[in-house]
Amino acid sequence: MTSIGTGYDLANSIFSPDGRNFQVEYAVKAVENGGTSIGIRCKDGVVLAVEKLVTSKLLKPSANKRIATVDRHLGVVYSGMIPDGRHFIDRARDEARAWRDTFKTPISTADLASRMGGYMQAYTLYQSVRPFGITAIVGGFDSTAEATVDGEVGAGPSCGAGGKVAGKTHGGPFLYMIEPSGLYWGYYGAATGKGRQAAKAELEKLDLGGPAGGPALTLEEAVKEAARIIYVAHDDDKEFELEMTWISGLDGPTKGLHQEVPKALREEAERLAKKAQEGKMEE
Amino acid sequence: MDHRPQAWGRPRDDVYGAYDASYLQTNGPKTATQSPIVTGTSVIAIKFKDGVVMAADNLASYGSLARFTDVKRLRPFLSTSIVGFGGDVSDMQFLDRHLNELAIDEAYEHESTATTDTDSPSKTGQLNAANLHKYLSKLMYRRRSDFDPLWNQVLVAGFDAHAKPFLASVDLRGTTFTSPSLATGFGAMLAQPIMRRFAATEEDAAALTREQAVDVVKECMKVLFYRDARSLDRYSIAVVTKDGVELSEDEQLEKQSWAFAERIRGYGTQVV
């Protein structure tokens, strides 16, 4: 980088003359070294997956989970510096709780992404701090049911809440990715970390009901695709564990909760992923 | 007209006289709940062979007025325990929100050990009913010691650390006790003797089947509706077993017989 040694990369809160914040760009570099994380938003839910690099044989398999739950219906996965990610999750949980305290209802995925985007952005503004060395993918399923209020005791009128537009639905699956700069966008499929290029290429091939519309992938198909993409994006000579979680609507397998993908389904997805890999090798 | 900003929006002194500022005193005595306002009546529960049955009617009274008739007073916790609230409804809501927060935090703590592969509701390390009861008893005692009690009597049902059916109560003073069958409020007088006929001891309770326990509880709810003027014929019933909590929140009392009422004399419009 030509900018090194010019002095503009020493701190946040100082732009370079061509309008860049180098500290943020270096944070992105930290993310690019982390294990690949992906998120897929499909018709009836969201799947999150991460390539968890095994740094030592002394680590207990399947311990030290990388995907965390926020409230009940949101999941967060991240690539980059793990301690930064742990703090990000702590903060996200605080935000979700504060939201419930204030509004007596669960935070929506968009609102959490907004709050956390704002939080990350604040770490690009001051001398005294450094940006987060992570890119986080936030997935969630906002309830499509009549919104309940925490602590409510009665059912209310049998026609439900008023002010409704006929045929208008609300809630559904959502996926956001938040970068070290604080930039966050909603995605149909998101990938970050070391294998993001390969993963993005694979995600683009999927039918995620994007702007063109059309039938989107189902949740179970998305789980299998997620496993396959992590295997495709993986750099062969390193050990890794696949960690996957999913969130469906109230009528789906997780009943609106963010949960680990059941072992049987995950192993099936991994088997298919390995098979697809071997098929490619032979070609 | 007084145009000074500090006089804006205030009653004019020349019309209403000077305001008595002593009403604005902030250094008066500290006040807390002196009595409940909107209340729920009895909660009853009985243990059986593989769990606990609990019931409470769906009424919240405002004094003697039957104010709210679809109030859910049985609250599941982590889908492994059930908490039944008698007494003040707003304090119940406070506790419900607090327990909801607690349940979310619990899930964070234990998500690494909680696998979705085992469908067992009692995940290792999660708060069981005995832990929850202990927690609530500390909370209630703390609040009464602050002279600001939560005006409830609470029944907690579920399983203890040894996976045995668990049932205990805590009241607004932090008093706790446990028994094979428990009832709060009027139920302690009217339902408890009936339940004790079926489950006087832990051994008796361990011999009860689920159907028997549900029948006893339904019978007790009927007796309570006959004799408790702050009760309702719609109620909630919950059965906690190792498979989780089955909660039904819109039950109707069946096979009522008011024949006995004919013989009661000396109330209302009847002439003795």
* A53-108 tens-digit pLDDT: 998 999 999 888 999 999 999 999 999 999 999 999 999 999 999 999 999 999 99
Say how many C-beta atoms besides its own lie within 10 A of residue A216's C-beta. 19
Under the banding of pLDDT at 50, 70 and 90, the label for residue B129 is: very high
pTM: 0.86
> Which of A65, A71, A100 faces B111 most closely, judged by CB atoms?
A65
Chain A interface, mutation test: which of B39, B94, B104, most A Cβ atoms within 10 Å?
B104
Q: Helix %, strand %, coil % for chain B, to 5?
A: 35, 25, 40
Cβ <8 Å between B104 and A71:
yes
| Residues of chain B found within 8 Å of residue A152, distances taken between Cβ atoms | 93
Active-site hit among B26, B33, B41, B176: B33
Of the pLDDT bands very low, low, confident and very high (cuts 50, 70, 90), residue B116 is very low
Q: Where are the beta strands (DSSP E) in chain B?
A: 38-40, 43-48, 51-57, 60-62, 65-68, 74-77, 81-88, 152-159, 165-170, 176-178, 181-183, 234-241, 244-252
Average pLDDT over chain B, rounded to an integer: 89
Other Cβ atoms less than 10 A from the Cβ of A5: the count is 8
91-110 in chain A: CB under 8 A from chain B: 93, 97, 100, 104
Residue A3 pLDDT greater than 60, yes or no: yes
pLDDT above 80 for A52: yes
| Nearest Cα residue to B54 out of B69, B72, B68 | B72
Q: What is the pLDDT of residue B113?
A: 44
B102 touches chain A (CB under 8 A): no
B33 included as an active-site residue:
yes
DSSP conformation class of A139:
E
Of A63, A100, A263, the CB nearest to B117: A263
Q: Is B107 in contact with A72 (Cβ distance < 8 A)?
A: yes
ipTM for this prediction: 0.87
- CB A79, CB A36: distance < 8 Å: yes
d(CA A152, CA B72): 9
pLDDT of residue B123: 54
Angle at B86 between CA B84 and CA B89, to 5 degrees: 100
- Cβ contacts of A72 on chain B, cutoff 8 Å: 104, 107
Select from B70, B111, B115 the Cβ nearest to the Cβ of A69. B111
Give how far the C-alpha of residue A184 lies from the chain's centroid of Cα atoms, to the nearest Å: 11
Give the list of residues 6+ apart from residue B125 with CB closer than 8 angstroms, or none.
B109, B110, B113
- Residue B3: per-residue pLDDT: 74
| pLDDT over 90 (residue A212) | no
A16: which 2 tokens? 């370079």
Q: What's the pLDDT at B118? A: 44
